[in-house]
């Protein structure tokens, strides 16, 4: 197993190049579909999940090429979910990453088809990334992808999100939606590559707990951004959760309480990370990820959070 404790120095150029190279476009593709795919893969966001999948894949012995394939797959799943999430029947957003949403430029049907193309390519890349692994690992990977993206994961979380206004709209229900929509993709980035190195039962429990804490924390940060940032600051249509009556912890309990919740989740994640490192030092890259990435996420939505390293 290769010991990698931080991101490779060239991670950004590697990922951006891989996203373009693996993009499911052909020379004779319908022009609008091609434009959506090229624009989506050519203008990614912060690549948080893809970064994590890249370094995790190398740590757990997939090799550089397979780690890149896994990272691209995770990012394609994420990008597809955003194309769908922005549609008029979902959030009816106007901007994504500072640019007009795909359906506003190329039509709703084309945005849907582009999402399907990205999901299809991601499935193929997952298969390629784990092709050299034992059959038992490949089956675990398939089960993990099915669980994360299906009714028990991303699709189910999105369905709950759309019907949230009909629920009791409690903080618990907000957390359940966040775990489905946000936690599932983090699980793919953290747990999927870890399967290649056969984690112990104790390590697996901590990994799953970490994904819960990180997924909830990331969604709280996003909720805070929706309430406290302008569209220009966030790069996407802001202040949508309230009018659409969608789950948002900052709206449900207030900004200050949501900030405290974010800090508590990150402290819980830090404890899970400490227990993982107590088993083996190979998990140190996850602590580095929290220290760098989540510190930036937390700082972006307000004050310094207690218990979070700068």
**For 39-90, what is each residue's pLDDT tens digit?**
999 998 889 999 999 999 999 999 999 999 999 999 999 999 999 999 999 9
Question: Reduced to 3 states, what is the DSSP secondary structure of residue 29?
Answer: coil
Find out whether 57 and 71 touch, Cβ atoms under 8 Å: yes
- Most confident region among 119-128, 220-229, 259-268 by mean pLDDT: 119-128
Instruction: State pTM to two decimals.
Output: 0.89
pLDDT digits 0-9 by tens, 132-188: 999 999 999 999 999 999 998 999 988 888 888 887 777 788 888 878 788 888 999
CATH superfamily, domain 11-300, is: Farnesyl Diphosphate Synthase (1.10.600.10)
Terminal-residue alpha carbon distance, the chain: 30
| pLDDT score at 238 | 67
Across the range 284-297, mean pLDDT stands at 83
Question: Reduced to 3 states, what is the DSSP secondary structure of residue 99?
Answer: strand
Confidence band, pLDDT 50/70/90 cuts, at residue 189: very high
User: 17: how many CB neighbours lie within 10 A of its CB?
Assistant: 12
For residue 12, give the nearest of 68, 57, 65, 62 by alpha carbon.
Answer: 68
**How far is Cα 161 from Cα 152, in angstroms, rounded to an integer?**
13
Beta strand 95-96 pairing with 99-100: antiparallel
* Owner of token pair 């769908």: 84
Domain parsing of the chain, residue ranges: 11-300
**How far is Cα 86 from Cα 81, in angstroms, rounded to an integer?**
9
Residue 168 or residue 130, greater confidence: 130
| pLDDT score at 236 | 66
What tokens does 250 get? 């900052």
pLDDT over threshold 70, residue 306: no
pLDDT over threshold 70, residue 309: no
Residues of the chain with pLDDT > 70: what percent? 89
pLDDT digits 0-9 by tens, 192-206: 999 999 999 999 999
Find out whether 66 and 111 touch, Cβ atoms under 8 Å: no
Residues of the chain with pLDDT > 90: what percent? 56
What tokens does 30 get? 């319908």
Question: Reduced to 3 states, what is the DSSP secondary structure of residue 95?
Answer: strand
Residue 5 or residue 45, greater confidence: 45
Those residues whose C-beta lies under 8 Å from the C-beta of residue 289, and which sit 6 or more positions away, are 51, 52, 55
| pLDDT score at 307 | 41
């Amino acid at each position: 197993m290769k010991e990698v404790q931080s991101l490779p120095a060239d991670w950004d150029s590697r990922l951006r190049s891989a996203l373009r190279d693996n993009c499911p476009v052909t020379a004779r593709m319908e022009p609008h579909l091609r434009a959506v795919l090229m624009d989506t893969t050519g203008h990614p966001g912060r690549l948080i999940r893809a970064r994590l999948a890249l370094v995790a894949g190398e740590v757990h012995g997939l090799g550089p090429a397979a780690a890149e394939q896994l990272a691209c797959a995770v990012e394609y799943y994420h990008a597809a979910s955003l194309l769908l999430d922005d549609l008029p029947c979902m959030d009816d957003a106007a901007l994504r990453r500072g640019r007009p949403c795909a359906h506003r430029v190329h039509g709703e049907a084309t945005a849907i088809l582009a999402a399907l193309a990205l999901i299809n390519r991601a499935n193929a890349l997952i298969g390629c990334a784990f092709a050299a692994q034992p059959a038992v690992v490949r089956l675990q990977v398939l089960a993990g992808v099915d669980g994360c993206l299906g009714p028990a994961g991303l699709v189910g979380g999105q369905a709950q999100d759309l019907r949230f206004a009909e629920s009791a709209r409690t903080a618990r229900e907000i957390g359940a939606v966040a775990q489905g929509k946000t936690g599932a993709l983090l699980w793919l980035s953290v747990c999927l590559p870890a399967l290649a190195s056969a984690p112990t039962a104790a390590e697996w429990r901590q990994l799953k707990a970490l994904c819960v804490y990180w997924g909830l924390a990331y969604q709280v940060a996003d909720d805070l951004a929706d309430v406290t940032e302008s569209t220009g600051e966030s790069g996407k249509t802001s202040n949508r959760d309230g009018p659409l009556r969608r789950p948002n912890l900052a709206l449900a309990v207030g900004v200050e309480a949501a900030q405290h919740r974010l800090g508590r989740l990150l402290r819980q994640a830090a404890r899970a990370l400490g227990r993982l490192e107590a088993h083996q030092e190979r998990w140190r890259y996850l602590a580095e990820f929290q220290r760098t990435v989540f510190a930036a996420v937390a700082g972006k939505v307000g004050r310094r959070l207690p218990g979070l390293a700068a």
